[in-house]
Amino acid sequence: MSLLQKTLEKIECLDHGITTLARERVDNLIKPAKSLGKLEDLAVQLAGITKNLEPSFDEKAIIVMAGDHGVYEEGVTNNPQEVTVAQTLNFAKGLTGVCVIGQVSGARIVPVDIGIKSELPPDVGIILRKVKNGTENMAKGPAMTREEAVKAIEVGIEIANDEMAKGAQILGTGEMGIANTTPSTAILSVLLNCDPIGITGRGAGLGKGGIEHKAEVIRRAILINEPNPHDAIDVLAKVGGLEIGGMAGVMLGAAANRVPVVVDGYISTIAAIIATGIEPRVKDYLIASHASQEPGAKRASELLGVKPMLAMDMCLGEGSGAALAFPIIEAACQMLKRMPTFAEIGMDI
């Protein structure tokens, strides 16, 4: 049995007995009913994920998947493709946005080369799990084979398993890959059955042809490859990216071990849509961090059915939004553990 299949068989629903108890407790804490809003819902979800009325997430890891894209050669961005490898090396040096924000809550940043075009040197603090040296140009044919897509997912599962074995109690997902808003938007266009022009954004920088050219490249990729919207792995293989598959695998692996996953912005949300397309129960384990400024982000969150908790006008990627959300998650846990009920302090209401 494949690692993917074994993982899928382990994914269960939330513990509804625990969520019922958690909701009862939250509703009886010394505060007006519902006065802590989404923080209350988050606490109940975390209890249901962990089967624990006092969940704790002292050990945090953000897994950053890095990969390149063959569609880059279509001129969809003005950024040099070499930025992927340069910025990935900066993760290991602690220099990037997610590294700095992650320090606030002590999150460990785990950079993974799942598909960078060039070869990284060993022993520089990057986990080398390359499936291939970047995807193929999806405007000319499939981005990868189905086998490569499954392998990318399984790499994500393996990295998640490794981090949880090291003690991680909660994971975040992040990515690095020049041109990766193009496959992300292609996936969303397929699953929404809509023209890409209305959901295509600038990404990290537009090529000379602008939005129209980028959308036309996406249209061409969908037309040539005919991805099956009812088969998430087929969509991933034909118009997706290796880092998208890797992040989907992280989500699947975490869910199989009853560990919550904090989803970053647009591209991570697309990975979450792929993960839930493979196994819908994964949705119970996802916490959406922030509403990205990318035009397709709102539609992606609506399709996933998980509303982001933050609106910070961010679109950096890297897992930066996930890092920013960790303190809010800690607050939800502290509310559940440390705030007493009216009965516990002898208040009769």
| Residue 204 pLDDT level (bands cut at 50, 70, 90) | confident
pLDDT given at position 138: 98
Q: Give the per-residue pLDDT at 347.
A: 85
The pLDDT of residue 197 is 96
Which domains can be identified in the chain, with CATH numbers? 3-55+334-345 (1.10.1610.10), 60-327 (3.40.50.10210)
Q: 47-72: string of b/e by CB count within 10 Å (b at 16+)?
A: bbbbebeebebebbbbbbbbbbbbbb
Mean pLDDT, rounded, of the chain: 96
Task: Give the Cα separation of 189 and 336 in Å (integer).
Answer: 40
What's the pLDDT at 332?
Answer: 97
Give the per-residue pLDDT at 291: 93
pLDDT at 170: 98
Q: pTM for the full model?
A: 0.97
Tokens encoding 266: 């647009």
Question: pLDDT category, 202, cuts 50, 70, 90?
Answer: confident
Read off the pLDDT of each residue in 146-155 and give the average, rounded to a whole number: 98
Question: Which tokens is 85 given?
Answer: 């490898």
Asked whether the predicted pLDDT for residue 348 surpasses 80, the reply is no
Confidence grade of residue 349 (pLDDT, cut at 50, 70, 90): low
CA-based end-to-end distance of the chain: 56
264: CB partners within 8 A, 6+ apart? 172, 173, 174, 175, 289, 290, 317, 318, 319, 320, 321, 322
Please say if 318 is a catalytic residue: yes
Q: How many residues in total does the chain contain?
A: 349
pLDDT tens digit string along 170-181? 999 999 999 999
- The pLDDT-based confidence of 123 (bands split at 50, 70, 90) is confident
Question: Rounded to an integer, what distance in angstroms lies between the CA atom of residue 163 and that of residue 62?
Answer: 9
pLDDT of res. 251: 98
Closest of 242, 84, 268, 79 to residue 176, by C-alpha: 84
Percent of the chain with pLDDT over 90: 93
Higher pLDDT, 278 or 341: 278
Question: With pLDDT > 70 as the criterion, what percentage of the chain qualifies?
Answer: 100
The CA–CA distances, whole Å, from 281 to 80, 192, 259 equal 38, 20, 13
The active-site residue, picked from 74, 243, 279, 318, is 318
pLDDT at 152 over 70: yes
Q: Is pLDDT above 70 for 238? A: yes
**Stronger pLDDT, 209 or 64, i.e. the higher one:** 64
Q: What is the mean pLDDT of residues 240-262?
A: 98
